[in-house]
Amino acid sequence: MNTLAEYFHMGGYAMFVWPAYALALLGLSGILTLSLRSWKAREQEFSGLKAARDSQSENTP
């Protein structure tokens, strides 16, 4: 158990290491969220364009 406590203490640098991990995780989760939102928006845009094209081709003789 002592080695686990030493690991989490990080040789005295824990106050720098753990916040860095937290900021990195926060940044990566933010990037993931923005990417998923953008993907869904592009998917909806594509569906709308596809529907418009299909309706236009149906009206053309």
What pLDDT, on the 0 to 100 scale, is given for residue 23? 98
**Is the residue at 16 inside a domain?**
no
Q: Answer whether residue 14 shows pLDDT above 70.
A: yes
- Rounded CA-CA distance 12/1 in Å is 17
Cβ–Cβ under 8 Å, residues 40 and 33: no
**Is the residue at 30 inside a domain?**
yes
For residue 15, the one-letter residue type is M
**Is the residue at 7 inside a domain?**
no
Count of structural domains, the chain: 1
**Is the residue at 14 inside a domain?**
no
Model pTM above 0.85: no
**Is the residue at 51 inside a domain?**
yes
Predicted confidence (pLDDT) per residue in 22-47, tens digit: 999 999 999 999 999 999 999 999 99
**Is the residue at 41 inside a domain?**
yes
Q: pLDDT confidence of 56, banded at 50, 70, 90?
A: confident
- Going from the C-alpha of 52 to that of each of 12, 40, 42, 60, the distances in angstroms are 62, 18, 15, 12
Domain carrying residue 53: 24-61
What pLDDT, on the 0 to 100 scale, is given for residue 59? 73
